[in-house]
Amino acid sequence: MSQNPNRSDFLQAWIPRGLLELQAQHRVPACTLEGLTPVQIQWCEGVLEDLRPLDADQSPPEHVVLPRLVDAHVHLDKAFTWQDHPNLLGTYEEALKANLVEHQSRSTELVLIRGERALQQAFMQGLRAVRSHIDSGGPGAASSWDALELLQRRWQDRVELQLVALAPLPFWTSAEAESMARRLAKCRGLLGGVLDPSMVGPAVDQSLKALLELADRHGLAVDLHIDEADHAPAQGVKQLLRALTITPVEVPITCSHASSLALLPQAALQRLGERMIRANLQVVALPLTNAWLLERRSDITPLQRPQAPIRQLQRSGVRVAVAGDNVADPWFPAGDFDPLSLMAAAIPLTQLLPWQRLGLAPFTTAAAGVLGLSWDGVLRRGAPADLVAVKGTSWSDVLRGSSSRRVLVQGQWLSSTFPTK
């Protein structure tokens, strides 16, 4: 950090209109065709003190500013394992196989090294909160949890780290489930699992019931990998909705992936969206891993690859975040916990327009909402002085990744600028 935290400081910048809330005395400002508004932002003691629109006769700002960002779905326990456990066929099945082999050799020390590296990159590149799923159940589970709970405490003032117990669904009916739930309650963790098209029948219903009862009893939120598939449209979400009619819960439930929902006919998807809203479900779309793994065949380039139908779900009122998922592990060889790279990679896949409110929300306010963060990411008086400033004057400058970037944390600039690659 590079300056006295008590010092008042300011920056003139272009701010997306949808992330700006001005006080009533300010006139409604003009914005560019890309929805960017020229504003002077002033902060003191780590808090935004004043935001005022710049007059037309003032010189235009040279930075675009976003709030520090959020990645609602990552896997810190297996990040950077690609080198030792590559998945050269690029299939879902081979990824799982390599993941299970890697899990056998986990140690607390190894997960600490990976997690520390990941959080350092996340922090420096502008993330303020991260939700990580952790492989739970199996030989590497205990060491993974020991490491990530330690990292959660070590990083608490810089990056909020939420931890999800990603366990096979039958785990939640086992004798160990109760002690895991107690452990989760202590670290404000979440219950997780995988619901894929192979999982049908009464045993799965029983596991879901046990998971929901446990979540409700301990007040734990739920985040499931669900319908990460290119067939059996929405089978998992429908199963979950049925389970919720039998075992209704008060806690928030996140559906991660929800890819096969895109295969539903439009009217059926709309009906499903309405049911999801009534059940208070929210969605995390993971377009990069979906585009990499789904519909893969060895000898063809697929014409379509399902991913969460973001726009249709938004139209039904479902909150949808876009997140990064895997980084350099058997499930995906690329990624690096960079929220702006994620946005740049996701827009051609999702066709979201970041200069529209609903195009930007999945990367900003909706991601904060999914995680239940105290700050929604809107820049207003009294909000944290937590900013990502990119040199430039347009969305293109933000998305091309070639402009220098600075990150402001609690009113202090981090000393490095990005990119440094």
Q: Compare residues 207 and 326 and give the one whose CB is closer to Zn ion.
A: 326
CA distances, 13 to each of 131, 299, 306, 313, 397 (Å): 29, 48, 37, 32, 13
| Residue 192 bridge partners (DSSP) | 166, 223
d(CA 364, CA 355): 12
Longest dimension (CA), the chain: 69
CA–CA distance, 162 with 164 (Å, rounded to integer): 7
Cβ proximity to Zn ion, 61 vs 330, nearer residue: 330
Q: How many residues bind Zn ion (CB under 5 A)?
A: 1
Closest separation in Å from C-beta 175 to Zn ion: 27
CB nearer to Zn ion: pick between 71 and 325: 325
Contacts of the segment 398-407: beta carbons below 8 A, 24+ positions apart: 398/64, 398/66, 398/340, 398/343, 398/354, 399/340, 399/343, 399/344, 399/347, 399/354, 400/344, 401/340, 401/341, 401/344, 405/125, 405/126, 405/340, 407/68, 407/123, 407/124, 407/125, 407/126
In terms of CB distance, is 325 or 386 closer to Zn ion? 325
Nearest approach in angstroms of CB 64 to Zn ion is 30
Q: Which is nearer to Zn ion, 332 or 418 (CB)?
A: 332
- Indicate the residue among 224 and 379 with the shorter CB distance to Zn ion: 224
Complex with Zn ion: residue 68 or 225, whichever CB lies closer: 225
Residue 292 Cβ, how far from Zn ion at the closest point, in Å?
12
| Strand bridging mode 47-53 / 160-167 | unpaired
Compare residues 77 and 325 and give the one whose CB is closer to Zn ion.
Answer: 325
Minimum CB separation of residue 133 from Zn ion in Å reads 5
Q: Which of 290/403 has CB closer to Zn ion?
A: 290
**Contacting Zn ion within 177-206 (CB under 5 A):** none
What secondary structure does DSSP assign to 118-172, as a single string? Answer: HHHHHHHTTEEEEEEEEE-SSTTHHHHHHHHHHHHHHTTTT-EEEEEEEE-GGGG
Minimum gap (Å) between residue 353 Cβ and Zn ion: 26
Cβ at position 323, least distance to Zn ion in Å: 8
Binding string, residues 315-334; x marks residues near Zn ion by CB under 5 A:
----------x---------
Q: How far is the CB of 99 from Zn ion (least distance, A)?
A: 11
Query: Is the CA virtual torsion 62, 64, 65, 71 positive or negative?
Result: negative
Site string for Zn ion, 343-382 (x = CB under 5 A): ----------------------------------------
Q: How far is the CB of 389 from Zn ion (least distance, A)?
A: 30
Q: How far is the CB of 196 from Zn ion (least distance, A)?
A: 12
Chain residue at closest Cβ approach to Zn ion: 325
The answer for residues whose C-beta is within 8 angstroms of residue 286's C-beta and 6 or more apart is 73, 228, 256, 257, 259, 307, 308, 322, 323, 324, 325
Separation of alpha carbons 58 and 70, rounded Å: 33
Give me the residues that bind Zn ion (CB under 5 A), please: 325
